[in-house]
Amino acid sequence: MREPSAVFVQADPSDGPITATRSGTTWSAAGATISWNDGAVEVTAPRISRVALRWSEKLPAEALILGDAWERSYGDLQWRHRQPERLLPWYFLAHDPRTGSTSGAGVDVQPNAFCAWTVDGDGFTLWLDLRNGGGPTHLDGRTLTAAIVRRFKDAGTPWQTLNAAVATMSTRLPARPEPAPVAGPDIGPVVGANNWYYAYGENFDEKAVLQDAATIVELADGHPVKPFSVVDDGWYPGGIASGGPWDRGTPGVFDDLAGTAAAIKAIGARPGLWFRPLMVREPGPWASTVPHHRPGRAFDPSYPEVLDGVRSDLQRFKDWGFELVKHDFSTFDIFGAFGPAMGSRLTAAGWQFHDPTRTTAEIILAFYREIRAATQDMVVIGCNTVGHLAAGLVDVQRTGDDTSGRDWERTRKMGVNTLAFRLPQHNRFFTVDADCVPCTPQTPWELNERFLDLVARSGTALFLSIDPAARTARTDRALRAGIRLALDGGTADGMEPTDWLVNTTPNDWRAGGETIHYDWSQPWGADPNG
């Protein structure tokens, strides 16, 4: 990609942007030097907040634009006409409907900045957020490679171009192994039970967990790949999502978690456990100063003591016998907001991490790397984690917000959308997880069954929340077929949404030579009042 036509620098969040002075492929302003080295953006400065790189290159007025999301998507991924204020995290594609050509730009995974694009009538801009929390990062003269920028050329169709773009942005990652026919050193197809969407963290105990394990093993019907059985939120004292310490289960409910894990294994499943690594139930040392609805209880991951504690938690889970760990809520606990509320500001102004010498992206990367190193051969699921930073550091990524065992419309909006628009990230960044397929009395099985078929065919992670009260001969037939297909690795040639240019939850999909139409509509329609 050729160098930008202009560069702008903001040293302090309270300063306005300063146009940098160019000398060859180096720009200088506000004491900072920005160098362009064959796509690598290198920043040297005493303190820095943001850098913007501008390319004056017109795109067709009729172009449809696609971007990604800061962390999970929230049913909001879509092709749109040009919208200059629309923030496009990590990468963008522009499709010209007149010529059929698609092109774009993005940054490699694991950058040291939060990176987003905007596209307008006269060109496009890459915004590098290099702040530390809500203030400037004190680089103190250190040279930081903020991002490696890539340009994407047309690869035949918009779908093929997005696949090629994702592959380009992940070339520095180790190659992901092909799914194994039997789960071994690599994780193989990821299929399992998760109780969240019928229990919702309440009124479940070890007996219910073991019943979930028995159900998924029964429905896997002797497949050589063992399914997982995940104990989700609610297994510890304090209430839902209340935080650690993570050293015991709820008394009288989960008194012996090592015994629970062993019992799941004895049934024939692989045990998994949920936790929220950066939240504690009582205010304590090493707290973040981010404005938070639970003041003093969110950890600051730039403290070495916090990372020590996370390592200890993960070692404990491993010693208990769990083979999978799902870590959740860390983006919210770091920024004080979920993705849709982050926008271009990311977080509230004025606060900083304990260590102000690293960018927020660097601190999050260090946190993910510690988890990856501590889990060793455990399977790691990231939920509410930043996909472009977590790529290569989690095995499985929850790419969309929650589906639902109570409201089908939420499953359609969140699950189908994230699968359609982030499926090219599968087996390149990580194993994609579009979230659970519910089987509950509160949601229509005929629609959940279609979602089950789509996820199973896609070869992505398939987790199921199966309420024992919802099991019938019909549900069991469909569950068995979907689980076995997913354990086999899905449809050999994968899935492609064919109406994704005009539909945020595609109905039409291509699987090899077969075209499949999924009707996602409820007979009574969506309730506008929720």
* pLDDT band at 526; cut points 50, 70, 90: low
Q: Is the pLDDT of residue 499 over 60?
A: yes
Listed residue (12, 7, 6, 3) closest to 45, CA to CA? 12
* pLDDT band at 186; cut points 50, 70, 90: low
The pLDDT value recorded for residue 530 is: 43
- 254 and 163 inside one domain: no
Q: Is the pLDDT of residue 182 over 50?
A: no
Q: Is residue 177 part of a domain?
A: no
Rounded percentage of the chain residues whose pLDDT exceeds 70: 96
What secondary structure letter does DSSP report for 187?
Answer: -
Listed residue (456, 371, 390) closest to 192, CA to CA? 456
Average of pLDDT values for 390-415? Answer: 98
* pLDDT band at 1; cut points 50, 70, 90: confident
Determine what percent of the chain falls in helix, strand and coil, rounding each to the nearest 5.
25, 25, 50
Extract the tokens encoding 85: 């204020």
109: Cβ–Cβ under 8 A, 6 or more apart, which residues? 169, 170, 172, 173, 388, 389, 391, 392, 429
- 48 and 115 inside one domain: yes
Q: Is residue 234 part of a domain?
A: yes
The pLDDT value recorded for residue 528 is: 41
Max Cα–Cα distance, the chain, nearest Å:
72
Listed residue (510, 489, 513) closest to 500, CA to CA? 510
* pLDDT band at 188; cut points 50, 70, 90: confident
The pLDDT value recorded for residue 176 is: 63
* pLDDT band at 180; cut points 50, 70, 90: very low
Handedness of CA 256, 260, 266, 271 (dihedral sign): negative
Distance between CA atoms of 449 and 453, rounded to whole angstroms? 6
* pLDDT tens column, 436-454: 999 999 999 999 999 999 9
Phi/psi for 73 (5° steps) reads -90, 160
* pLDDT tens column, 305-318: 999 999 999 999 99
Q: Is 0.85 surpassed by the pTM of this model? A: yes
From the number of C-beta atoms within 10 Å of its C-beta (0-12, 13-18, 19+), residue 501 rates as: middle
Half-sphere exposure of 493 (CA within 13 A, CB side): 9
The pLDDT value recorded for residue 525 is: 56
- 29 and 154 inside one domain: yes
Distance between CA atoms of 387 and 409, rounded to whole angstroms? 25
Query: Which domain CATH number covers 257?
Result: 3.20.20.70
- 139 and 201 inside one domain: no
- 128 and 243 inside one domain: no
Q: Which amino acid makes up residue 197?
A: Y
The pLDDT value recorded for residue 293 is: 87
Q: Is residue 500 part of a domain?
A: no
pLDDT mean across residues, the chain: 95
Distance between CA atoms of 86 and 444, rounded to whole angstroms? 35
Distance between CA atoms of 428 and 361, rounded to whole angstroms? 21
Beta bridge partners of 29: 32
Q: Which residue has the tokens 């936790």?
A: 275
Query: Between 431 and 184, where is the model more confident?
Result: 431
Q: How many angstroms separate the Cα of 188 from the Cα of each of 95, 153, 176, 374, 375?
A: 35, 32, 11, 21, 17
Q: Count how many domains the chain has.
A: 2
The pLDDT value recorded for residue 183 is: 38
- 65 and 122 inside one domain: yes
Calculate the CA 389 to chain-centre distance: 9
- 244 and 200 inside one domain: yes
Q: Which residue has the tokens 């860390």?
A: 330
- 371 and 232 inside one domain: yes
- 347 and 447 inside one domain: yes
The pLDDT value recorded for residue 494 is: 84
Distance between CA atoms of 291 and 302, rounded to whole angstroms? 17
3-state SS assignment for residue 355? coil
Calculate the CA 492 to chain-centre distance: 24
Q: Is residue 188 part of a domain?
A: no
Listed residue (68, 260, 230) closest to 165, CA to CA? 68
- Decide which of 460, 477, 492 is a domain's last residue: 492
* pLDDT tens column, 137-178: 999 999 999 999 999 999 999 999 999 999 999 998 977 655
- 336 and 419 inside one domain: yes
Task: Write out the residue range of the structural domain in which residue 94 sits.
Answer: 6-169
CB 394 within 8 A of CB 385: yes
* pLDDT band at 512; cut points 50, 70, 90: confident
- 87 and 202 inside one domain: no
Q: Is residue 511 part of a domain?
A: no
Half-sphere exposure of 506 (CA within 13 A, CB side): 23
Q: Is the pLDDT of residue 179 over 60?
A: no
Q: How many angstroms separate the Cα of 61 from the Cα of each of 102, 105, 126, 503?
A: 14, 18, 20, 20
Average of pLDDT values for 236-248? Answer: 96
Q: Is the pLDDT of residue 80 over 50?
A: yes
Q: Is residue 326 part of a domain?
A: yes
Q: Is residue 505 part of a domain?
A: no
- 448 and 299 inside one domain: yes
113: Cβ–Cβ under 8 A, 6 or more apart, which residues? 51, 128, 129, 130, 146, 147, 359, 361
What secondary structure letter does DSSP report for 201?
Answer: T
Q: Is the pLDDT of residue 516 over 50?
A: yes
Q: Is residue 151 part of a domain?
A: yes
Rounded percentage of the chain residues whose pLDDT exceeds 90: 93
* pLDDT tens column, 371-386: 999 999 999 999 999 9
Extract the tokens encoding 156: 């035949």
Listed residue (48, 47, 159, 3) closest to 95, CA to CA? 159
* pLDDT band at 432; cut points 50, 70, 90: very high
CB 418 within 8 A of CB 411: no
